[in-house]
A and B are shown apart, each in its own frame.
Chain A
Amino acid sequence: MNLEGPMTKIVRVFSNAVFAFALIFGFYVVLHGHLTPGGGFQGGAIMASAVALLLIAYGADRIGKGLKKGTLSSMESLGLLGFILLAIAGIASAMNVVFGNFLLDNSLGIFSEVPPTGVNPGYLNTAGTLPWMSLFVGLEVLAGLSLIVFNMAGGLPKEVKSSRGGEVK
């Protein structure tokens, strides 16, 4: 069994199907972070495991050709920047404090209510800055974990060169 290249046809077909479902499920978990268990990290990890599944099925070379060089790194930095900008924006707003939930009662009506307690179908348009933070964290975790998995899959060189000289250089 060749672990470097693509796997057999059955695996590839099935992983194509599962990839789409897993991405959508991960996005659902991220989006409902303020209502159900889950949120940014959990959903991001589900999405990244979908990417890892595709990586195993097709091999690192094939997937690496599909991505541009700095895409994942930029996505990761964008997610982090969005999170920290939302935190700092709390200072300038009416709440006047870092990490303040300043979208909670604004007049535009975006994410401006408190989620109702009790058994209800779940209203997405609630809870202030929390869904935004979940989205940014989900983006960042997806990019970060995929980057780690890609680097580890293609990272080991074919032969081992040792530069151990034996004395302090």
Chain B
Amino acid sequence: MIENLPFLMVALFIAIGLYAVLFKTNLIKIVMGISIIESAVNLFLIAGGYIKGGIAPIYTSAPEGESMVLPTPQALTLTAIVIGLATTALLLSFVVLIYRHYGTVDSRKIRGLRE
């Protein structure tokens, strides 16, 4: 049960993030919800890379006779964090652009392009 705890937290974070994206009407809260979901997926990647009895894959601190884990989950998570940073920055600049034209950040009022 204790090994499943990270995955339960992933499910909880995705639920919280989806609640923020689906039900909150402030655009910045929607961006925050996306950021929470991104943290949850990164946690999923790292938690899934756990190998019992493995050693961290660092050359300069590796003791003799042990086996290292593959550094692939770390690389995947790093790339995902960088991509998340770029999308958050772009989303927030779109919010600034919308605010400049509409004067509000309420998603129910930003409905110029409908049907």
- Do the two chains touch directly in the complex (Cβ atoms below 8 Å apart)? yes
Contacting residues, chain A, for B61 (C-beta < 8 A): 119
The answer to the question of B82 belonging to the interface, with a C-beta cut-off of 8 Å to chain A, is yes
| B89 lies within 8 A of A118 (CB) | no
| A162 lies within 8 A of B78 (CB) | no
Chain B, interface size category, equals 20 to 34
The answer to the question of A41 belonging to the interface, with a C-beta cut-off of 8 Å to chain B, is yes
| A119 lies within 8 A of B63 (CB) | yes
| A35 lies within 8 A of B112 (CB) | no
The answer to the question of A163 belonging to the interface, with a C-beta cut-off of 8 Å to chain B, is yes
Contacting residues, chain A, for B99 (C-beta < 8 A): 156, 160
Contacting residues, chain B, for A36 (C-beta < 8 A): 58, 60
Distance in angstroms from B93 CB to nearest chain A CB is 7
- The SS class assigned to the A binding surface is loop
Chain A, residue nearest B99 (CB)? A160
Contacting residues, chain A, for B74 (C-beta < 8 A): 37
Question: Cα distance A73–B25 when bound, in Å?
Answer: 35
| B60 lies within 8 A of A115 (CB) | yes
Chain A, interface size category, equals 20 to 34
Contacting residues, chain B, for A155 (C-beta < 8 A): 93, 96
| A160 lies within 8 A of B62 (CB) | no
Residues from 81 to 115 in B contacting A, C-beta threshold 8 Å: 81-82, 85, 89, 92-93, 96, 99-103, 112
Contacting residues, chain B, for A115 (C-beta < 8 A): 59-60
Distance in angstroms from A49 CB to nearest chain B CB is 12
Chain A 140-169 near chain B by CB (<8 Å), digits 1 or 0: 000001001001100111001111100000
The answer to the question of B64 belonging to the interface, with a C-beta cut-off of 8 Å to chain A, is yes
Chain B, residue nearest A44 (CB)? B82
Contacting residues, chain A, for B64 (C-beta < 8 A): 118
Distance in angstroms from A147 CB to nearest chain B CB is 10
Contacting residues, chain B, for A109 (C-beta < 8 A): none
| A164 lies within 8 A of B102 (CB) | yes
The answer to the question of A120 belonging to the interface, with a C-beta cut-off of 8 Å to chain B, is yes
Contacting residues, chain A, for B112 (C-beta < 8 A): 164
| A157 lies within 8 A of B92 (CB) | no
Chain B, residue nearest A148 (CB)? B89
Distance in angstroms from A102 CB to nearest chain B CB is 21
Q: In the complex, given contacts A117-B62, A155-B93, A163-B101, what are 5 additional A-B residue pairs having Cβ atoms less than 8 angstroms apart?
A: A35-B60, A118-B64, A145-B85, A152-B92, A164-B101
